[in-house]
Amino acid sequence: MSECLFCKIARKEIPSAIVYEDDTLIAFKDIFPQAPVHLLIIPKVHCEGLGDLTPEAEAAAARIPRLAARLAVEHGVQASGWRLISNCGADGGQTVFHLHFHLLGGKSLGGKLCQ
């Protein structure tokens, strides 16, 4: 069994605030939210990130933008705006090496991607 944190969340071995789940994707609230709405959307299957896509992870990840748009509506940020990002590698700021997308909204996120 994988020791990966997000694999454990996907297997429900570690509790999380799940907001969506289907056969291949799961979305849950970020434990250290950076905005009023801060969700993480992950493929259930493990891959490290966008630079490491397996065909199975790619098929799951391809569905993430549409799911993000649905969650943005459900969490009340479609009208005000939101951001979907995936950090890749050390310089990208990635800290958990299981592919994930951050869905952020509920405040002005600014126009820049970095300070």
Residues that bind ligand AMP in the complex, under the rule CB under 6 A: 5, 14, 16, 28, 30-32, 40, 87, 93-96
Q: What is the dihedral of CA 86, 91, 96, 101, to 10 degrees?
A: 0
Measure the CA–CA gap between 79 and 31, rounded to whole angstroms.
24
Structure tokens at 14: 């570690």
Q: Which of residues 90-109 bind Zn ion (CB under 5 A)?
A: 98
Question: What is the Cβ-side half-sphere exposure of residue 85, based on CA atoms within 13 angstroms?
Answer: 15
Q: Taking the complex as a whole, how short is the minimal distance between the CB of residue 93 and ligand AMP, in angstroms? A: 5
Annotated active-site residue in 46, 75, 98, 100: 100
100 part of the active site: yes
Q: Which residues of this protein are in contact with Zn ion, per CB under 5 A?
A: 4, 6-7, 46, 98
Q: Annotated catalytic sites, by residue?
A: 100
